[in-house]
Amino acid sequence: MSTYTPMIQQYLKIKAQHKDCFLFFRLGDFYEMFFEDALAASRELEITLTSRDGGADERIPMCGVPYHSAENYIKNLVEKGYKVAICEQVEDPKTAKGVVKRDVVQLITPGTVMEGTMLEEKENNFLASVSEFSGNTYVITYNDLSTGETSVARVSSGWDAVLSELFNQPVKEIVVSPDLPENYQTDLRERLQVTVSYQQEYSIKEGFHDLTEQLTEDKQLLEGFGRMLNYLQNTQKRSLDHLQPARIIQLQEYMSLDMFSKRNLELTQTILRKGKQGSLLWVLDKTVTAMGARMLKKWLERPLLNKQVINQRFAVVQAFLEQFFERESIREALKTVYDLERLAGRVSYGNVNARDLIQVKQSLQNIPAIKQLLSQFENESVRSLAEGIDELRGLAELLEESIKEDAPLTIKEGGIIKDGFDPTLDEYRDASKNGKKWITELEQREKQATNIKSLKIGYNRVFGYYIEVTRANLHLLPEGKYERKQTLTNAERFITPELKEKESLILEAEEKSVDLEYQLFVELREKVKQYIPALQALAEKVSTLDVLQSFAAVSEENNYVRPTFNGSRKISIKQGRHPVVEQVMKGESFVPNDVYMDESSEILLITGPNMSGKSTYMRQLALTAIMAQIGCFVPCEEASLPVFDQIFTRIGAADDLVSGQSTFMVEMLEAKHAITQASENSLILMDEIGRGTSTYDGMALAQAIIEYVHDHVKAKTLFSTHYHELTSLENTLDAVQNIHVRAEEYQGNVVFLHQIQPGAADESYGIHVAKLAELPDQLISRASDILKQFETEQNHSGTPEKTKPARQVEKEPEQQMSFFVPEEERPSNVQTRSKREQTLAKELVDLDIMELTPLEAMNILYQLQKKAKK
């Protein structure tokens, strides 16, 4: 290092402490990057890579960005999952001896973004931490630094449950101990695609214990929260006064939605486009505030199990529907409320400006009107919302008295504080104003005295005030009165003792005025800090109100009805509709269907052709249940539902390329997750189980899964299949009922009626669907011939032959070896295998088939087959 210049040595020392960050090293008006950072940043940001002399033999790679426009570059890096360390000059260059002292003043990471331009307005930006404990227990802590909200949850059902919980939240970065197993860290990076950061220390420092009041003396929760808190302190290096006390999330109080279900049901984003449009959130979001939009998403990710709380939400939605005009007035008033949560965070963080405080003031000035409108409702639940709202009149009045309406964005150049707020500031302003007036009068006097009409008095920061006279008029100036200050091409600039004296007074007043304004603004910001908890409480009330009016608006617009809950585990939905498909089909008629399930129909076995609507029917039941349990009305004519504790889905086929798992393995893992975790109060949706393997394997597995769910799990289950042989289960399993999606053949084409009817489908119409997809006519014709030959052979033999019609190749019949044929009757070429056969036979006899799960049976059958083939 000694070969480098002192400045480069300083850079390298600071970089060594932040190896996992891009180091934005402040040099004058630029943030510079060197060495590997420069190479990577020039590539990621598409900026020019250059080099400089750093004292070594070779030139050092270098790139940089202007500090005043660095925000967009930082945003670009953070969105790609990188971290940025901001290194500033921390001493005045004028007083520095040698290299100016520099230090990192802030780390900006994907989970700790605070700048508004880097945040999604309607999305939380969660930083999470995961702490591992014995007994397969984990503590997850969530924090949104931009709003200050913090929550803690304990997961006691293993690592997969941790992944599902994290997947359900908008997490951008996860903090873990360096000791967390490497395969778990890989899961976080690759399966959840988040930035992983490290924090070992978890002891909670003095001054933050008030944030742990709800955690009591629970050591695990305290350690989990402490790891998060230490990471925030180490990266932010500034006030965290806006952090709210940590709330405990009791996961058992909410419906459990694993990562498969959230993805398959497209609750907050679609599978293909990864966007909001086309998701359930897209349909339900009629909120008008950013706070409300974020709360709606949180509700959707955690449906309730508490009927009382759900019914309270229903009551408010019902009241909003009954009093349309008052609801619309509330909706209009909410449009004038800014994002109080994030504004409070900016106040604490120290990056709030005058315009942010104007937004706080304008929001508070509209709260009394909202409160008044709520009090006009007849419903007690709505009026109780008004009673809990604090108008914060003191803060509103303080901001009204202090901040100018047209205040600039910057806070260090004046023009922020109103006249009359501070007497000293008024004096400075008066001196400055009168001084400038005096200068204007002086200009007129000098023009008259010299008879120079073009004479003018100007100002610049280098020379201050000056009198400017063109060269052609210099002979008109009196001798001895003017002192030459600057010579220009076509003019001369002068000063007079009188002007110099006044300049000193004016500039001193202006300088003091700007300094005082900044000081007053900082003091004002500290006063506003005292209101942060009250602002956050108000924001929560306003957010709740916004979500409930959104439910009312969407329910009225889409003709949703209020559901009821029953304790008999019965599902009764009349003319139910899919909330998203219905909206996508605007202008076309959506075919509604009933759903009825009781103790005699725990499992609905759904058959019917592809594209007929089986998956839509299954999904609409799940989405209806979720909508009901977040407190929203539902798309049907009438609905009575149980409260579901969990929803599991196996819908759609997709390889998990990251984990190297095939479609069939993903299918089996999701099926295993459902049948091992579900209770009798759960809802299971399984679509085409077994299609990822051979026909007979798939059919066997599908039947075994249905039997297992029927006999052991007893959850409400919708199971769609193309294996028509499974429809016979209705005759052997008491709680299985066949239903099918109706389709008709008309003039050689299939017509999907999308109607659910009792009984099994009699045809699959696969070739007709292929025809709709416009496969070549020759191919369709050949498929029809093959199908007829299969059906003919099946009619003759009872089972389909495994042959290629019209292209058969004669083969010698294979001998089928039986385990139980006497040795003397066996072919000579297999008599030597008697011991192996006896071993296999004994393994088969010893199996307790009724105690095996479907997956265990599959594995054992596979092993036996391998042994037999040897």
Torsion of CA 477, 479, 484, 489, to 10 degrees: 40
Torsion of CA 717, 723, 727, 732, to 10 degrees: -80
Contact 403, 357 (CB under 8 A): yes
One-letter amino acid at 463 equals F
The dihedrals phi and psi of 646, each to the nearest 5 degrees, come to -150, 150
Q: Largest Cα–Cα distance in the chain? A: 142
User: According to the annotation, is 600 in a ligand binding site?
Assistant: no
Q: Is the separation of the CB atoms in 304 and 310 below 8 Å?
A: yes
- State how far the Cα of 9 lies from the Cα of 4, in Å rounded to an integer: 6
Q: Are 620 and 718 in contact (CB under 8 A)?
A: no
User: Is residue 608 part of an annotated ligand binding site?
Assistant: yes
Strand bridging mode 149-155 / 247-249: parallel
415's CB contacts (< 8 A; 6+ apart) are 404, 406, 407, 408, 517
Residue 614 labeled ligand binder? yes
Helix (H) or strand (E) holding 142: strand 137-144
Q: What SS3 string covers 543-582?
A: HHHHHHHHHHHHHHHHCCECCEECCCCCEEEEEECCHHHH
Nearest to 240 by CA among 128, 145, 112, 150: 145
The span from the CA of 542 to the CA of 331, in Å, is 11
Instruction: Supply 164's token pair.
Output: 């599902």
CA distance 43 to 61: 12
CA distances for 517 relative to 320, 429, 507, 638, angstroms: 46, 11, 15, 63
Indicate the length of the chain as a whole number.
870
How far apart are the C-alpha atoms of 402 and 417, rounded to whole Å?
A: 5
Q: Which of 302, 392, 342 is nearest to 148 (CA)?
A: 342
**30 within 8 A of 67, measured Cβ to Cβ:** yes
Locus of tokens 């052991």: 712
Is 576 a known ligand-binding residue?
no
The verdict on whether residue 611 carries a ligand-binding annotation is yes
How far is residue 50 from each of residues 3, 31, 98, 828, measured CA to CA in Å?
Answer: 20, 14, 26, 82
Q: Which residues are annotated as a binding site for ATP?
A: 608-615
Q: Which residues are annotated as a binding site?
A: 608-615
